[in-house]
Amino acid sequence: MAEAIAFYTLAVLILGLGVAVITTPKTVHSVVFLVLNFLCVAVLYVVLRAEFLAVIQVLVYAGGIVVLYLFVVMLVNLKRAPEAHEDPRRLARLGLALSGAVLLELAGIVVYSYGRVTPASAPAAAGPLTGAGNTEELGWLLYTDYLIPFEVASVLLLVAMVGAIVLARRES
């Protein structure tokens, strides 16, 4: 029961804030809604017993990536409205239709697979997923089974860092 209340509240918040992100005319407001959306997703992770990911979501997404967006919004000080010009060849209707198709397809998948995914045990009976230390087990997996993806991800971050610095630097 408690989980149901938490889920529906969070789902409404997440979807509402998501709609707000893509419909608000002011970019700064969009960024604020995005932060709130990510915080709600973090709470949803806590409901799903992924405490470490919830904290990382807040730390990396809300505290890092979105601050970057806010910075860029402030640096990109526009003299005219960003959406003033429209490409005459732009196919916005087709875009909406395609998004509708994606939604339909996802709905189809959900309906088709409903009931076919059998949980390993009933969620109500399942205790804490990982006992005391979600963080320890995740770290253990990252450094054993997923060591190579982990290293690749760190190289990717390094490349991104160098790339961002090269791109953002003014030519002297």
Partner 1 sequence: MEITPAHYTVLSAALFSIGVIGVLVRRNVIIIFMAIELMLNAVNINLVAHARYLENLAGQVFVVFVIAVAAAEAAVGLGILLAFFRNKETVNIDEMNIMRW
Partner 2 sequence: MLDTIVIPVLKIAVLLNAVLVAVTFMVLLERKVIAWAQSRLGPMRVGPYGVLQAIADPIKLLVKEDIRPVRADPMLFTLAPILSLVPALVVFAVVPFGGDELFYVTDINVGLLFIISVTSIGVYGIILAGWASNSKYPLLASLRASAQLISYEIAVTMTLVSVILTAGTLSMVGIVEAQQQSGLWFGFVQPVAFVLVFIGGLAETNRAPFDLPEAEQELTGGFHTEYSGMRFALFFLAEYANIIVISAVVTILFWGGWLRPFPNVEALAFLDLIPGWIWFFAKMFVFLYIFIWIRATLPRYRYDQLMRLGWKVLIPVAIGNIVLTGVVKVLL
Whole-angstrom distance, CA of residue 2 vs CA of residue 10: 12
Number of residues in contact with partner 2 under rule CB under 8 A: 23
By C-beta, is 114 or 132 nearer to partner 1?
114
Position 117 contacts partner 1 (CB under 8 A): yes
Position 103 contacts partner 1 (CB under 8 A): yes
Long-range contacts, 79-84 (Cβ 8 Å, 24+): 82/27
Whole-angstrom distance, CA of residue 121 vs CA of residue 36: 33
Position 95 contacts partner 2 (CB under 8 A): no
Mask for 105-134, x = binds partner 2 (CB under 8 A): ---------------------------xxx
Position 37 contacts partner 2 (CB under 8 A): no
Query: Which residue is associated with the tokens 């109500």?
Result: 124
Contact, 160 vs 64, CB < 8 A?
no
